[in-house]
Amino acid sequence: MTATALPASAPVAVIGAGTMGAGIAQVAASAGHGVLLHDAVPGAAAAGRDGIGRGLARLVDKGRLSAADREALLGRITVVERLADLAPARLVVEAIVEKLEVKQQVFRALEDLCGAEVILATNTSSLSITAIGAALARPQRLVGMHFFNPAPVMALVEVISGVATDPAVADCIHATAGAWGKTPVRARSTPGFIVNRVARPFYAEGLRVLQEGAADPATIDAVMRQGGGFRMGPFELMDLIGHDVNYAVTSSVFAACYGDARFLPSLVQKELVDAGWLGRKSGRGFYDHRDAAAAPLAATADAAPPPARVTVSGDSPLLPLIAARGLAHDRADGPGGVEVDGVLLLPSDGRTATEVSASLGDRPVVVHDLAGDWLTAGRTAVARADQTPAAALAPAVGLLQALGLEVSVIDDVPGLIVTRTVAMLANEAADAVLQGVAAAADIDTAMTLGVNYPRGPLAWAEGIGLGRVHTILENLFTTYREDRYRPSALLRRKVLGGGRFHA
């Protein structure tokens, strides 16, 4: 049976009038609800409503909202100074400080003030819904309703159920989020829910490549943007989020998962936090934001001569690009690479170029990174095997440049940059499916809408080939011998059984 959303006539209360709370109030009012906006800090709710008004005025100036609609929307938001004034609400959304005891205290008070049928929703991004509900008389009426900032703009809402949450309550909030113009996904109350859990490798692998001295932040970010198709690289995004916040989330998930190595925080990031270099908000992070003109450039190889002709072996991912650019080439059996002037250019399979070269009798080898879409990619990373002469880089670089790519030469780190990151994102997503955190479709939706990934990690893995992703992970694990890189049991099962995550 299809769940029913709260009718627009149902009053909605929002507790907390900061950026997130005010944004949620605007979303609910835009859907036609009367909204009661409350904040424990005197004057904060009024300031929050005024902020909504200013934001709507900018939309009016841009012609995206009429002045009459602005006034009508603001008219549906009522500032209330007392918690008791929220008694008429059918839904209360809490967006206050991330402290368990404070949230429990507020919800206990609401249980006494509101009717037994009120739905209590928390916008927490890190606390357990089950733990919050443990202090309540009616924990079945509590559900997570996690918006993403800015709430009026971001489409995603994670609907999170604790162990006591009534499925009908979660269904109602799922339907309500949809009625509010959002895209809801369902998750079980586990550390990080969907987005904050599955996204950890995006930061962790960039930090690991930096820690191993393979490339600098500007180069890693450029490869992830121009090669992987991500909107921002990991260091740009961490500087934007704030290292105190990002490090705290990683530490929280790591602790909540009893020290699971997959979520191990980075000493590199901790050093920035200890230094007070928190990113944009403090002026310094991985980048110096005090002087935009001093922004570092990505390492980019000098121009090299283009090849006259190349030989493409096996199922090289570069073949469509070679054909599209009209580069003269021959076809041959082989390991799925491109031979140019005696140098074999191969896609990364999670091994170092040095290991690949050794497996081929010390043949000259250069490995290249993964691309989100080779036909639109603007950059890729390459690494040379230790056995391969430095001069052998030029033919490989010249080939990639002839295909329209900027090339960043990095040190020989296993999995390069995009390859290891995408494999690890897919692995974490697979484990989230295995552990019942969320369905595969909801995970991919969450990651594309919540953090703007170019593709959902599981759909991306299927596009690459689940077997190839599993091989990359196995090779990373073999190199590092760290539990962090263990392939998901469900991913392995899909590979062995010929299954998929999406129909």
The helix, strand and coil proportions of the chain, stated in percent and rounded to the nearest 5, come to 45, 15, 40
Would residue 459 count as lying in a domain?
no
Nearest to 367 by CA among 388, 378, 375: 388
Residue 271's pLDDT is: 97
Spatial distance between the Cα atoms of 340 and 402, rounded to a whole number of angstroms: 12
Distance of alpha carbon 28 from alpha carbon 77, whole angstroms:
9
Assign 252 to helix, strand or coil. helix
Q: Is 196 a catalytic residue?
A: yes
Q: Which of 125, 246, 266, 316 is catalytic?
A: 125
The pTM of this model reads 0.95
For residue 108, what pLDDT is reported? Answer: 97
pLDDT at 175: 98
Domain hosting residue 268, numbered range: 197-294
Q: Which residues contact 468 (CB under 8 A, 6 or more apart)?
A: 349
Count the domains in the chain.
Answer: 3
**Which residue of the set 196, 266, 348, 357 is catalytic?**
196
**Contact of 20 with 147, CB cutoff 8 Å:** yes
Model pLDDT, residue 474: 98
Structure tokens at 428: 């974490």
- State which of 376, 394, 409 marks the end of a domain: 409
Same domain, 262 and 338: no
Residue 291, pLDDT score: 86
The rounded distance, in Å, linking the Cα atoms of 224 and 387 is 27
User: What single letter denotes the amino acid at residue 282?
Assistant: S
Is there a single domain that holds both residue 253 and residue 373?
Answer: no
Answer yes or no: are the C-beta atoms of 445 and 156 closer than 8 Å: yes
pLDDT digits (tens, 9 = 90+) for 49-76: 999 999 999 999 999 999 999 999 999 9
Q: Give residue 503's pLDDT band: very low, low, confident or very high (50, 70, 90).
A: confident
Alpha helix positions (H), 64-116: 67-75, 100-113
Q: How far apart are CA 439 and CA 403, in angstroms?
A: 38
Q: Is there a single domain that holds both residue 44 and residue 68?
A: yes
Burial class of residue 376 (count of CB atoms within 10 Å of its CB; 0-12, 13-18, 19+): exposed
Query: Domain for residue 485, yes or no?
Result: no
In a shared domain, residues 128 and 180: yes
Does a structural domain hold residue 439?
A: no
Does the residue 495 lie in any domain?
no
Sign of CA dihedral 418, 421, 425, 427: positive
Q: What is the pLDDT of residue 292?
A: 79
**Residue 185 covered by a domain:** yes
Look at residue 295 in the predicted model and tell me its pLDDT: 84
The pLDDT tens digits for 407-437 are 999 999 999 999 999 999 999 999 999 999 9
- pLDDT tens digits, residue range 78-91? 999 999 999 999 99
Looking at 409, 441, 471, which one is the last position of a domain? 409
Does 202 share its domain with 184? no
| 226 and 153 belong to one structural domain | no
Reported as a single tens digit per residue, the pLDDT across 32-48 is 999 999 999 999 999 99
Residues 263 and 374 in one domain: no
Q: Is 101 a catalytic residue?
A: no
pLDDT value at residue 126 = 85
* 436-456 core/surface letters (b: 16 or more CB in 10 A; e: else): ebbbbbbbbbbbbbbbebebb
pLDDT band at 294 (very low <50, low <70, confident <90, very high): confident
pLDDT in tens, 306-353: 999 999 999 999 999 999 999 999 999 888 899 999 999 999 999 999
Question: Rounded CA gap, 486 and 86, in Å?
Answer: 49
Does pLDDT of 1 surpass 60?
A: no
Residue 480's pLDDT is 97
The CATH code of the domain that includes 246 is: 1.10.1040.50
121 and 157 inside one domain:
yes
Residues 184 and 233 in one domain: no
Q: In terms of Cα–Cα distance, which of 204, 188, 225, 249 is closest to 423?
A: 204
Confidence of residue 3 (pLDDT cuts 50, 70, 90): confident
- The answer to whether residues 67 and 98 belong to one domain is yes
Catalytic-role residue among 111, 158, 406, 462: 158
Cα gap 230→194, rounded to integer Å:
18
The verdict on whether 289 is a catalytic residue reads no
Alpha-carbon gap, residue 255 to 394, rounded angstroms: 47
Please indicate whether residue 146 is annotated as part of the active site.
Answer: yes
Helix intervals (H) in 62-194? 67-75, 100-113, 129-133, 167-179
- What's the rounded Cα separation, in Å, for the pair 282 and 290? 9
Looking at the structure, tell me whether residues 328 and 238 fall in a common domain: no
Mean pLDDT, residues 353-363: 97
**Catalytic entry in 146, 174, 368, 470:** 146
Same domain, 278 and 354: no
